[in-house]
Amino acid sequence: MKKTAIAHANIALVKYWGKRDIALNLPAVGSISMTLKALFTETSVEFREDLEQDLLILNGDKASETQARRAGQFLELFREEAGHQRKAKIVTRNNFPTGAGLASSASGFAALTLAASKAAQLTHSPARLSELARLGSGSAARSIFGGFVEMDHGKNSNGSDSVARPMHPADYWPLEMLILITSEAEKEIGSTAGMNLTAETSPYYKAWIDTAEADLKRMRQAIDDRNFTRLGEIAEYSCLKMHGLAMSADPGILYWNGLSMTLIQAVRKLRKNGIEAYFTIDAGPQIKVICPPGGAAKVRSHLENIDGIRSILTTGIGPAAYIVDDE
């Protein structure tokens, strides 16, 4: 049976960095994210008798061996549970520009999880889907849900409690976000390698772990109160703390380029001039600007003419992952 799922990307407001178990992909700290309406992955999975190996079509082209193997290995989880060995045809497409340097692993693995679960005719709860998606990519666990989402680091050694859960639905608080693309070059160090190097070498790693819960607690409160200033301040703080931590690895990891820094300063200057917006940055050089409801257009008009910006995406808060071809 062929099933197609859509899952939206998400951006962490309180960041995850570091794993408590590398093999099971268990995060060392919790995180809180917003699911993004304008960015999604659509993936169909069909388990077939006639395939010798898994086939992955990515944005219309046959994917590389490595990508196909990663997806195929992930599907073993579903084949095992369903009790068959049929190979799959996976067709996946991102609606956002590929090569824009935006992490597509969150929406990608969330969509693959949901489509594979349904195609294998398995019955998984949302929490179990989140747990499965996490095995593909840590942040994918959050893209199973819409709106504001919290991911727990969990305590169980098998990872059954390292899952995301919804805090508030998409319409709870219509924040907006600008995504400023500063470079389309492939990043030098991926998030998993970066996290593992940080955990092994940074003298600040323990402090990062020890202070994570306090940030999560403050962010939960800011979201519960719909307090934009608090949310923005904590998000910027968590972002800079994560990047400071990565920079303190040996050798130091730097995800920003010159334009990232220019935009950080520009967002702070906007606030000085009375326009409230805050930045956050993941493991790459793109700047995401958190804007209050209805505020993105104005913030954009102040930033879009800065030299060197490749493109800008504007988004609101998006829904949970869903199946599109249920008849």
15 binding ligand PMV? (CB under 6 A): yes
- Please report how close the Cβ of residue 226 comes to ligand PMV at its closest, in angstroms: 22
DSSP characters over 96-120: SPTTSS---HHHHHHHHHHHHHHHT
> What is the β-pairing status of strands 31-48 and 26-27?
unpaired
Residue 22 one-letter amino acid = I
> What is the β-pairing status of strands 19-21 and 322-323?
unpaired
Q: Pick the binder of ligand PMV from 18, 101, 108, 138 (CB under 6 A).
A: 138
Q: Pick the binder of ligand PMV from 31, 117, 182, 198 (CB under 6 A).
A: 31
Cβ nearer to ligand PMV, comparing 47 with 108: 108
Cβ nearer to ligand PMV, comparing 87 with 243: 243
Candidate segments 10-18, 90-98, 163-171, 285-293, binder of ligand PMV by CB under 6 A: 10-18
Candidate segments 125-133, 135-143, 210-218, 262-270, binder of ligand PMV by CB under 6 A: 135-143
- Binding residues among 92-131 for ligand PMV as defined by CB under 6 A: 105-106
Count of positions on this chain that bind ligand PMV (CB under 6 A): 13
DSSP characters over 13-63: EE----EEETTTTEESS-EEEEEEEEEEEEEEEEEETT-SS-EEEETTEEP
136 binding ligand PMV? (CB under 6 A): no
Cβ nearer to ligand PMV, comparing 68 with 195: 195
Cβ nearer to ligand PMV, comparing 82 with 189: 189
- Using CA atoms, how far apart are residues 151 and 29, in angstroms rounded to an integer? 9
Q: Is the dihedral of CA 98, 103, 108, 111 positive or negative?
A: negative
- Cβ pair 126, 149 in contact under 8 A: no
139 binding ligand PMV? (CB under 6 A): yes
- Binding residues among 277-316 for ligand PMV as defined by CB under 6 A: 282-283
- Using CA atoms, how far apart are residues 186 and 226, in angstroms rounded to an integer? 36
- Using CA atoms, how far apart are residues 124 and 129, in angstroms rounded to an integer? 6
- Please report how close the Cβ of residue 12 comes to ligand PMV at its closest, in angstroms: 3
Nearest to 323 by CA among 122, 51, 35: 122
Residues near ligand PMV (CB under 6 A)? 12, 15-16, 31, 105-106, 137-139, 191-192, 282-283
